[in-house]
Structure 1
Amino acid sequence: MKKLFIAVPLTLFASLSGCAAKIHDNHSNTVSGPQTLYESRVINASNGAELDIKALAQRLASTDVVVIGEYHGHQASHLLQSQLQAALFRQNPLQVLSMEQFNMDNQAAVDAYLNDKTGETEMIEDSSAWDNYRGSYRPLIEFARQHGLPVIAANAPATVVRCVGREGAGYLEKLPRTGREQLPNRPFMDTPAYREKFTATIARSHHAADDPMGERMNNTYKAQLLRDNTMASRILAAREAHPGHQVIHTTGTFHSEEHLGTVALLKQRAPDISVAVISPVAWPAGASEAPLHSSRHKGDYLYFTQPLPKAFRDEAREQKAMSARFHRPSKETCQGDSL
């Protein structure tokens, strides 16, 4: 899959055993587990009650920003996003779609397609769309296009993110003034809980804690913060440009679950804004039940999905694939000519 960001691994869960598992919570509610990769079971995290898409949309009708976390490439995530987008539109047709999956420097290419000035393949090429665009994000864009809704390319420019990850926060000083002004003010705003979560995830991935890794990890974290701050500022700018509109933001779940990342920065930048977080949770492999209490902190609403198939069982092949994925071509330089 193209342009998949910082090397923060999404845990791939083992396959289900096939039993009809149930969710149990403190209120004695039970919910059957999803039976296909397209299905999900939406739960109110506060009480464990199951909701259908219509009921979920009704609860979210007056929320300023609805953040739908995803497992990238998971069919259930993308189906739920599309269904909820349409259901929320029926509640309030004043809607803006904001997407991590497009970078802000490609906004013009997205707008050209929405305005019927280019075709889909042209848009995909011009916007550097992710490889899974047609299978995952096409329905969202087409719904917006058909209803004349704005779409916000919310992520930070890929080149700038890459160079911050390589050189650190100081790289931004190399950018021309006009380029720097397009990025958010205070581009590395942070929260301690997010740093702790990020550091723990990277440490588990690399199994190392030497000094070079520490410096590399800090630069990688700065790049992550640039993404989150950019997305938060782009969402707020969209609300300012489109008063009264509800913003739906699609993003990888690491950027939003536990109300961290982009969500925490939204609240820092605009304390009065109302934000709802919808987070995916993989159904425990082989479990006869899925206790809600262990996941309720991940969002205001949860949607349980079947886990994706395990990508690798051979560790050597997995390491080789990861190295190839995040290899930096020598011809790519960071001379401050981005944007």
Structure 2
Amino acid sequence: MIKLSLALLITVGVLIGSGCALTQPHSSSSWSAPATLYESLVIDTNSRQPVSLEETVKTLSKADVVVIGEYHGHQASHLLQTRVLHLLHALNPHIILSMEHFNLDHQDDLDDYLAGHTGEAEMIKDANAWNHYRGSYRPMVEYARNHKLPVIAANAPAQTVRCVGRVGPDYINELPEDQRQRLPAQPFLDTPAYREKFIGAISGSHGSNDPAISERMANIYKAQLLRDNTMASRILQARNNNPEHQILHVTGTFHSEEKLGTVALLQKRAPALSVAVLSPVFWAADQASPPLAEHWGKGDFLYLIQPLPPEFRDHDRRQKAMKERFKGRSNTDCDVE
């Protein structure tokens, strides 16, 4: 009898270790943290337990739109996005990839590359691809190109965004008709929770009583809304034109976590659309367990990743680098002829 009980215990232990149906809840203190910057641990926020990427994708495959938030340039985010694209495509051949990282006015340049009319270096220049395109977004675009999947340049034109942030939302009224027609009909559609989150993240309480700063902040927020509304409209347009297709949208996590930003505006425009969100959470190596208490509401799934190393420790060098990084933007000409 004792031998039988031991055998049963061993069998149950094997099933639990392999993630089978008998798996019991585990404390987060027993989870294994990502060992490298490429790895991630996916958590189902409903069960609050780790799940395999394959099981995650089975759930995601039921949504009309899947949104994966990222920390730009983080290897784990981009590896996860590429793997989800591959696994979703294996379940459904009708997939459209939508990307924040290309602006809608460069859709033709992106399409030319996907069709084989231009090379990668030409596309990077013509489509004004992000500086770290090769290290971050190349795998997703190449998967789409090799499998003839559409890729949507989802973001608003960079010039328009910058000028709205500088001179205000009326800038759009001065654009030529063809440029205005590309933008969403309601480019500054809003949700109160997102406004509160954005202003808190950018300014906190500093300068809230200064009219000049408040106006500048309002314009910056309108520029943010233009991005989010444009991405939501581009996703919805792709879905309406291809109702049998699932959309996978990849974007900075601020645009999607807590189902705010692009996600909230997408659902405001199309309430019947089902949208699933994956959001990243940093788990530092010196933390015994992930700090999840404040993050459960960020998405249907969380994926835990290592923090990136700090760019700067010297404040003055950081300030100088930031000024250099945004120097070109300060020279933007917002006069419309």
What TM-score, normalized by structure 2, do the two folds share? 0.89
Aligned letter for 2:138? Answer: R
1:103 to 1:290, Cα distance in 2 relative to 1, 3 A: same
* Bigger-Rg structure (1/2): 2
Report if the CA contact (8 A) 1:36-1:306 is conserved. yes
Q: Which residue of 1 aligns with 2:108?
A: 108
Count residues in correspondence.
311
Q: CA deviation at 1:331?
A: 4.8
Instruction: Give the residue type in structure 2 aligned to 1:74.
Output: H
Equivalent in the alignment of 2:191? 191
Structure 2 residue matching 1:293: 3-state secondary structure: coil
Distance 1:329 1:161, change over 3 A: closer
Preserved contact between residue 256 and residue 277 of structure 1 (Cα < 8 Å)? yes
Please state which structure has a larger fraction of its residues in helix: 2
Aligned counterparts, 1:61-210, within 5 A: 61-204=61-204, 207-209=206-208, 210=210
CA contact (8 A) 2:282 2:306 kept: yes
- Structure 1 counterpart of 2:303: 303
Please, which moves more after superposition, 154-163 or 276-285?
Answer: 276-285
Match for residue 53 of structure 1?
53
CA distance in 1, matches of 2:230, 2:298: 22
* Counterpart AA for 1:180: R
Helix, strand or coil for the counterpart of 1:292?
Answer: coil
* 1:300 maps to amino acid: D
String of CA shifts for 1:106-135, please: whole Å, max 9, x gaps: 000000001000011111010000011111
Q: CA deviation at 1:329?
A: 5.7
- Bigger relative contact order, structure 1 or 2 (CA pairs below 8 A, ≥6 apart): 1
Which residue pairs with 1:23 in the alignment? none
Counterpart CA distance in 2 for 1:175 and 1:70 is 32
Unmatched runs of 5 consecutive residues or more in structure 2: 1-24
Q: Which amino acid aligns with 2:123?
A: M
Pairwise CA RMSD: 1.6
Identity %: 56
User: What TM-score, normalized to structure 1?
Assistant: 0.88
1:330 & 1:94 partners in 2: Cα distance? 42
Could you tell me how far apart the structure 1 residues matched to 2:196 and 2:291 are? Answer: 25
AA of the residue aligned to 1:321: A
- TM superposition shift of 1:324: 2.3
Unaligned runs of 5+ in 1: 1-26
Tell me which amino acid in the other structure corresponds to 2:218: N
1:211 to 2:211 alignment: yes
2:279 maps to what in 1?
279
* Distance in 1 (alpha carbons) for counterparts of 2:64 and 2:102: 21
1:295-314 CA-partner distances (Å, limit 9, x unpaired): 11111100000000011111
The one-character-per-residue Cα deviations of 1:27-61 (angstroms, maximum 9, x if unpaired) are 54432111100000000011212112211111111
